[in-house]
């Protein structure tokens, strides 16, 4: 297994030659796989290998993530045989949102197990069906790019120590997918930060802070035309 979250990890070449199949997993970031992941995928040589995709998300917009990621992988000479989406706690819960608390739950894990079994059959050829059509979008690439910036209307204070001391374990800097976090000064570079909050989530001392997003939670629910109850009723899904 390779964790490509850290910036340095995506600079290492991966040879898929020894593998029979590949599984790609990523969070959904503003309707698509994160830009860092998309750009990394475009450097790969799939060598005609079968692959599967899965995505984690905090309960809101999913599509066109499956469709757009499949496009990239097939352009890189992979054959995508399955995909899935799994519910989990939203990143912005770190700032006061209340999206998908307690997820993944037992039902989500059952879907994950079913996905693994179905994908294995596709990999081995026991199931020779092909992945069906995936939901597209009418939005242009430019519009989707603009959507990526919306999160900064909510995340108005990038991760920072606010001058507080820490042990400088460097975990925040090492995990940052874009090289934005600067552990020495305890601040994220505004020009590089994508608001993924991996640094905040992985700080062993809880030293990094962001702005309180609690006031935007009701607005987000209204914007998405849903409720906390409606979110809780959502289920993880498989696409075959």
pLDDT tens for 220-229 read 999 999 999 9
For 31-87, how does the pLDDT look when each residue is reduced to its tens digit (9 = 90+)?
A: 999 999 999 999 999 999 999 999 999 999 999 999 999 999 999 999 999 999 999
% residues pLDDT > 70 (the chain): 100
CA distances to 95, 117, 126, 170, 237 from 121, rounded to whole Å, are 41, 6, 5, 42, 18
Asked if residue 162 has pLDDT above 90, the reply is no
- Which residue reads 């917009």 in tokens? 61
Specify whether the CB–CB gap between 53 and 70 falls below 8 A. yes
Q: Say which CATH topology domain 7-141 has.
A: Rossmann fold (3.40.50)
Dist. CA 179–CA 202, nearest whole Å? 15
User: Model confidence at 108, in pLDDT bands (50, 70, 90)?
Assistant: very high
**Helix (H) or strand (E) run with residue 222 in it:** helix 214-223
- Minimum mean pLDDT among 34-43, 90-99, 159-168: which range? 159-168
Q: Where are the domains of the chain?
A: 7-141, 156-213
Q: Which of 22, 121, 125, 35 is nearest to 78 (CA)?
A: 22
Provide φ and ψ at 122, rounded to 5°.
Answer: -70, -40
Distance, in Å, from the CA atom of 33 to the CA atom of 30, rounded to the nearest integer, reads 8
The dihedral built from the CA positions of residue 107, 68, 216 and 229, taken in this order, carries a sign that is negative
Its pTM stands at 0.94
Q: How far apart are CA 46 and CA 76, in angstroms?
A: 6
Helix (H, G, I), strand (E, B) or coil at 231: helix
Higher-pLDDT residue of 154, 163: 154
Rounded Cα distance, 121 and 115, in Å? 10
Please tell me the CATH code under which domain 156-213 is placed.
3.30.70.20
């Amino acid at each position: 297994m390779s964790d490509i979250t850290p910036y340095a990890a995506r600079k290492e070449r991966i040879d898929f030659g020894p593998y029979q199949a590949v599984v790609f997993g990523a969070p959904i970031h503003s309707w698509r796989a994160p830009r860092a992941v998309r750009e990394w995928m475009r450097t790969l040589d799939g060598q005609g290998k079968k692959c599967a995709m899965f995505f984690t998300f905090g309960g809101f917009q999913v599509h066109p993530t499956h469709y757009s990621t499949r496009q990239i992988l097939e352009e890189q000479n992979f054959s995508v045989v399955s995909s899935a989406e799994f519910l989990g706690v939203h990143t912005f819960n770190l700032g006061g949102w209340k999206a998908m608390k307690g997820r993944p739950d037992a039902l989500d894990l059952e879907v994950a197990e079913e996905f693994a079994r179905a994908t294995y059959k596709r990999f081995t050829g026991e199931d020779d069906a092909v992945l069906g059509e995936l939901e597209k979008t009418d939005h242009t690439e430019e519009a989707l790019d603009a959507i990526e910036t919306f999160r900064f209307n909510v995340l108005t204070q990038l991760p920072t120590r606010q001058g507080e001391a820490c042990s400088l374990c460097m975990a925040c800097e090492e995990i940052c997918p874009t090289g934005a976090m600067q552990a020495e000064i305890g601040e994220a570079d505004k020009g590089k930060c994508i608001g993924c909050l991996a640094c905040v989530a992985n700080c062993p001392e809880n030293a990094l802070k962001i702005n309180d997003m609690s006031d935007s939670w009701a607005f987000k629910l209204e914007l998405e035309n849903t409720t906390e109850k409606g979110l809780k009723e959502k289920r993880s899904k498989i696409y075959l």
